[in-house]
């Protein structure tokens, strides 16, 4: 089925790599991201690879938004890939 332990992911009948750059913004651009919140977000996103086969390559933080570079299988649409990390981190922005 899916082999996501290698550098190139093999899935049924194809080999693929698809990277997305996602920016998640805090509502009204409030400066809410501090070191404590950043650490909690990173911990929450660690399980995405096992649950959804979405691998987070890089996470970058600013005071009011975060950038995520992730890789996923082609069975997911771009909207699904954006929805999963946003849903995992939504509670940290309130």
Specify the pTM. 0.70
pLDDT, tens only, 31-81: 878 898 888 888 888 877 777 778 888 899 988 888 988 888 777 787 887
State the Cα–Cα distance between residues 81 and 53, nearest whole angstrom. 10
Rounded-to-integer distance, Cα 94 and Cα 92, Å: 6
Q: What is the pLDDT of residues 6-23, one digit of tens each?
A: 566 666 667 777 788 888
Which CATH topology does 17-93 take? Alpha-Beta Plaits (3.30.70)
Domain-wise residue ranges, the chain: 17-93
Q: Is pLDDT above 60 for 93?
A: no
CA-based radius of gyration for the chain: 14
């Amino acid at each position: 089925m899916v082999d996501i332990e290698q550098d190139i992911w093999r899935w049924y009948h194809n080999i693929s790599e698809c990277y997305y750059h996602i920016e998640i913004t805090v509502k009204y651009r409030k400066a809410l991201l501090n070191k404590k919140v950043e650490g909690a977000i990173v911990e929450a996103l660690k399980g995405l690879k096992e649950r959804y086969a979405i691998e987070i390559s890089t996470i970058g933080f600013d005071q009011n938004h975060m950038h995520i570079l992730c890789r996923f299988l082609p069975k997911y649409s771009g909207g699904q890939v954006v929805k999963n990390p946003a849903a995992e981190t939504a509670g940290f922005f309130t």
